[in-house]
Amino acid sequence: MSVLTIERKVLEKNDMIASELRSEFKEREIFAINILSSPGSGKTSIIEQIARCSNGELKAAVIAGDVQTDNDARRIDKLGIPVVQIVTNGGCHLEADLVRDAYRKLSAEKFNFLIIENVGNLVCPAGFDLGESIKAVILSTTEGEDKPLKYPAAFRKASILVINKTDLLPYVSAPIWEIKRNALSVNPALSIFETSCKTGKGIKELCSWIKLQCK
């Protein structure tokens, strides 16, 4: 028996494409955000709200990943935001090559903020670098306060946490301070935003923060 000793990262191919994308985003002064969350936490609704905040200084484009349908792309397209839909046909996460191909389709558009809406899933997407500037996690108040403890990788790798559907807080048993405490125990460096797409609360703060990053 002869043994070849190699130390190679299993995802080296993905990481290489992601690092090329990251350089390209940097060069073109694009702030790219990779959004992770469970299905139904309000990713597309938050994107719609951010799109409404877009003006001269913030020009958004969206790459939306879903297992099936182009429903999300159609919602975003209605707002006049450039959007490319990736249908993964069963795939549970986005990979860097899919994002690169989608990004190429946006080459004629002018934007400084790229939103990559990952497939709704808190497990698999956390392992794949897409070349983004930061990862963001969206957690809705109805999902329970222990989600950060159950899915620590996503929360650990994110820079911001958006706690969405705060309008439903009176109807759920999870107090918001407990969601925050659990999230910060996994990742003390998280910046936390509280939003409601229904009432618009907290959206302005989130948009101001994004505008600062895009400068």
Question: Would you tell me which residues interact with other proteins (CB under 8 A)?
Answer: 1-14, 91-93, 95, 123-124, 126-128, 152-153, 156, 184-189
In the complex, the smallest distance separating the C-beta of residue 149 from other proteins, rounded to whole angstroms, is 8
Query: Rounded to the nearest 5°, which phi and psi values hold at 214?
Result: -85, -10
- In this structure, what token pair is assigned to residue 141? 């108040």
Nearer to other proteins, 4 or 108 (CB): 4
Nearer to other proteins, 75 or 147 (CB): 147
In the complex, the smallest distance separating the C-beta of residue 137 from other proteins, rounded to whole angstroms, is 14
Task: Indicate the pairing of strand 83-87 with strand 160-164.
Answer: unpaired
β-pair partners for 192 = 161
In the complex, the smallest distance separating the C-beta of residue 165 from other proteins, rounded to whole angstroms, is 26
How far is it, in rounded angstroms, from Cα 54 to Cα 66? 24
Angle, vertex CA 193, rays to CA 192 and CA 198, nearest 5: 150
Nearer to other proteins, 105 or 157 (CB): 157
Q: Are 210 and 31 in contact (CB under 8 A)?
A: yes
Nearer to other proteins, 144 or 152 (CB): 152
Q: Which residues of 93-107 are buried (b: 16+ CB within 10 A; e: fewer)?
A: bbbbebbbebbeebe
In the complex, the smallest distance separating the C-beta of residue 202 from other proteins, rounded to whole angstroms, is 25
How far is it, in rounded angstroms, from Cα 24 to Cα 209? 23
In the complex, the smallest distance separating the C-beta of residue 117 from other proteins, rounded to whole angstroms, is 17
In the complex, the smallest distance separating the C-beta of residue 10 from other proteins, rounded to whole angstroms, is 4
- In this structure, what token pair is assigned to residue 16? 């290489």
- In this structure, what token pair is assigned to residue 58? 């913030």
Nearer to other proteins, 92 or 169 (CB): 92
Nearer to other proteins, 184 or 214 (CB): 184
How far is it, in rounded angstroms, from Cα 81 to Cα 209? 20
